[in-house]
Structure 1
Amino acid sequence: MVGSIIPSSRFTIRKMLAPVDWDRCEVFVEYGPGVGTFCQPVLDRLRRDGTLIVIDTNPLYIDYLRKHFRDSRFHAVHGSAADVVEIVKAHGHDHADYVLSGLPFSTLPDGVGPAIAQATHEVIRPGGAFLVYQFSARARDFMAKHFRRIDSGFELWNVLPCQLFWGWKDADD
């Protein structure tokens, strides 16, 4: 399932990634990377010893990404975002620092959105965040069940304009 047929704008990318503490980011995960619009900007900011794990259910995207990104920090996984805890562990890590998603939460099959939100909260370390960009605010509803602190924004310079959310995992979450 694709959230948009047009890649995110450079304005959306810059705004979404702005709150990330790149010096403390060891593991960055992206759900539904598609053709990799966010991948290079993340790799450009990621530490030399960091890891970028992208997860997609479409094997064609995964094949494309594996051929396109030759960075040793990059790992493309054919799978479900709901399995992020197991995927991160399979890559030798016990948590992710940040998880980015452009998945279309409003059109996911019943039960999938809540499962993804729960697994995401579980995998993110305290102080990390779930970064979500959407055309509707529905994703915030899924996030709010697990993340008490959610910052929001809006990016007009995107086709279509999109809502931005940063769900922060506090130490007592």
Structure 2
Amino acid sequence: MKTYEPFLFLQGFLKNPKRVGSVLPSSKFLANKIVQSVQWDEVKTIAELGPGTGVITRLMRAELPKSATVFLFERDPKMRSNLKKTYPEFLFHSNASYLLKRIHQEQIHQLDCIISGLPFFNFSREMRQNILSQIHTALRPGGTLVLYQHSLHMKKQLTELFDIDKIEFVPLSFPPVFVYICRKKKDEGHSETRESV
């Protein structure tokens, strides 16, 4: 992590705490846990929602094939500008509420994986439902959603849309984080949830 990144993140949090959701970037322990949760050989199209300063993005890029299509959605203009300089080959957008519109503009109809650190707890019910619905539609059947949150408040809502493979607790992060590893149901009529906390 570059020395100015925590400052950039804190600046973003102070300016808009409901959108940034944390005072510090993701820890390396959290970033490693998230990256380890993805079957990278199955990923050719991916979106990261709320990459912040790019702690997870860095590890993600190392795992992806050069031909992969990567979308980064970051609201904070300074963090987005910083990411653009570091990852000029990726596609950038400011608002995850337009996930489907943005991927369709690039002739991509479904994604293999979505990683999200969006602070859903801070969103209105309508916004939360809108983004989750778009995530569900954007993922291919069997596609992976890795979502990290500071509580278990999303468990019920996620169970309605996805199979939860597992929920992992990452204490070595500030504040501590729960990582939901989910798959879009291949058969929407059949729901089987396996989880461990």
- TM-score when normalising by structure 2: 0.80
Aligned counterpart for 1:100 among listed residues 111, 115, 131:
115
What runs of 5+ residues in structure 1 fail to find an aligned partner?
none
CA positional deviation for 1:33: 1.2
Using the alignment, how far apart are the partners of 1:68 and 1:115 within structure 2? 30
Query: Are 1:95 and 1:125, in contact at CA under 8 Å, matched by a contact in 2?
Result: yes
Q: Is 1:60 the counterpart of 2:54 in the alignment?
A: no
What value does the CA root-mean-square deviation take over the aligned residues? Answer: 1.5
Using the alignment, how far apart are the partners of 1:139 and 1:56 within structure 2? 21
What runs of 5+ residues in structure 2 fail to find an aligned partner?
1-18, 189-197
CA positional deviation for 1:150: 4.4
SS in 2 for 1:106: helix
Query: Are 1:113 and 1:142, in contact at CA under 8 Å, matched by a contact in 2?
Result: no
Partner of 2:147: 132
SS in 1 for 2:65: coil
| Higher alpha-carbon deviation: 3-12 or 117-126 | 3-12
CA positional deviation for 1:28: 1.2
- Structure 1 residue identity aligned to 2:92: A
CA positional deviation for 1:110: 3.2
CA positional deviation for 1:92: 2.4
SS in 2 for 1:17: helix
Q: Which has the higher contact order (CA 8 A, sep 6+)?
A: 1
Identity %: 25
Using the alignment, how far apart are the partners of 2:146 and 2:164 within structure 1? 12
Which of the pair has more CA radius of gyration?
2
Pairwise mapping of residues 66-85 of structure 1 onto structure 2 (< 5 A)?
66-70=84-88, 72=89, 74-79=90-95, 81-85=96-100
Using the alignment, how far apart are the partners of 1:136 and 1:157 within structure 2? 15
Using the alignment, how far apart are the partners of 2:119 and 2:102 within structure 1? 21
SS in 2 for 1:122: helix
The number of equivalent residue pairs is 170
Query: Are 1:150 and 1:168, in contact at CA under 8 Å, matched by a contact in 2?
Result: yes
Using the alignment, how far apart are the partners of 2:156 and 2:74 within structure 1? 22
Using the alignment, how far apart are the partners of 1:54 and 1:87 within structure 2? 10
Aligned counterpart for 1:36 among listed residues 46, 51, 54:
54
Partner of 2:65: 47
